[in-house]
A = this chain, B = another copy of it.
Amino acid sequence: MASKAKIAVLGASGYTGAELVRLLLRHPRADLVALTADRKAGQQMRAVFPQFSPFALPPLVSIESIDWAAAGIDVAFCALPHGTTQTVIRDLLAKAPQIKVIDLSADFRLHDLAAYERWYGHPHQAPELQKEAAYGLVEIHRREIRKARLVANPGCYTTGAQLPLTPLLKAKAIETEGIVIDAKSGMTGAGRAAKEAMLFSEVSEGFHAYGVGHHRHMAELDQEFSLAAGKDVVVTFTPHLVPMNRGILSTIYVKGGRERTAQDLHAILAEFYAKADFVHVLAFGETPQTRHVRGSNMTFIGVAKDRVPGRAIIVSALDNLVKGASGQAIQNMNLVLGYPETTGLDQVALFP
């Protein structure tokens, strides 16, 4: 039997933490040896997430209580809030430089120190690590990730936008002006913090946009899209909240460049992802539903012709907690450890 990596999950009491535990419990080459939580340190995981009652899991402890130098941990997943993560990882890597870190926060996603400061309002606390970090969108940056010690796992919204758009921008197949991304997310994207606006009665039986015109995820899109296009790209992006738990659907409006038709765009994506394990391009004209990827690491992409000449409508669907967070994080771990990329990620979507 192949050896198993020793895994720590930092922030195991949140939704992406729990999703890491769900997936890692069935990963054939991972051993969960440490789980941390802040306010819930001292509790058992089953008290915080009763679905784990039948399983033996390490208790929730504080990050400080772990002796990182001695614990022999191979990989640390970091599912902590934005902003605090950077110092946690800096300190952790200072104590145990050999650990591979997969960070699910936004803290290491931007390569440009100035851009970080502009979007987040304060200078980065670990600038040297920021430079080192690989941006973990596997289908685009596989090569860099394999060599990385620190991987910045992409955001859920931005994964849904990049997987269809980046190949098209690289191929210079669409106009870079006027791109509109209308994204709709399930509620788990908002995390588990107790906020009035996230109560069941506030968000069920209704629909709304938020952060209209100025959402932080745009920083990540600007970086990656400009890199792909070889010039500055600034897209319009509006997130919405859907009364469902999981899923992001992104409806993307583009204009074909250089006389490319919608069908051309479809062909480019179909070829780009022909051998991808976790991106599936539907037949031309078909568009996906979030429920059909629920619980799986899959992204479905559809391309349809708009009736307005020259324009196309692209729709992507993924599970924000899996391909949009914890599943992609494990995909990154697999690369970093030299495992086959799909190891432990073969869940079939749960529908209905």
How many copies of this chain does the complex contain?
A: 4
13 A-B contacts (beta carbon < 8 Å): A50-B300, A54-B280, A178-B178, A193-B196, A194-B199, A195-B199, A204-B204, A206-B291, A210-B287, A213-B305, A236-B311, A294-B350, A350-B350
Chain A interface residue count: which class? Answer: 35 or more
Q: Is A122 an interface residue (CB 8 A)?
A: no
Which residues does chain B contribute within 8 Å of A289, judged by CB atoms?
A: 50, 206-208
Q: Is A234 an interface residue (CB 8 A)?
A: yes
A binding-site residues for B, Cβ under 8 Å: 15, 18, 22, 25-26, 49-55, 178, 180, 182, 184, 186-188, 190, 192-196, 198-210, 212-214, 218, 234-236, 238, 240, 242-247, 249, 251, 253, 280, 282, 285, 287-296, 298, 300, 302, 304-308, 311, 313, 315, 317, 321, 346-352
The answer on a CB contact under 8 Å between B26 and A346 is yes
Closest 5 CB pairs of A and B: A206-B291, A208-B289, A51-B349, A201-B352, A182-B182
- In angstroms, Cα B207 to Cα A196, docked, is 21
The answer on a CB contact under 8 Å between A348 and B26 is yes
Which residues does chain B contribute within 8 Å of A350, judged by CB atoms?
A: 22, 294-295, 350
Given contacts A200-B187, A251-B209, contact A348 B236 (CB under 8 A): no
Given contacts A54-B280, A291-B205, contact A243 B242 (CB under 8 A): yes
Min Cβ gap A1→B in Å is: 14
- In angstroms, Cα B210 to Cα A49, docked, is 16
Partner of A209, one of B178, B298, B315: B315
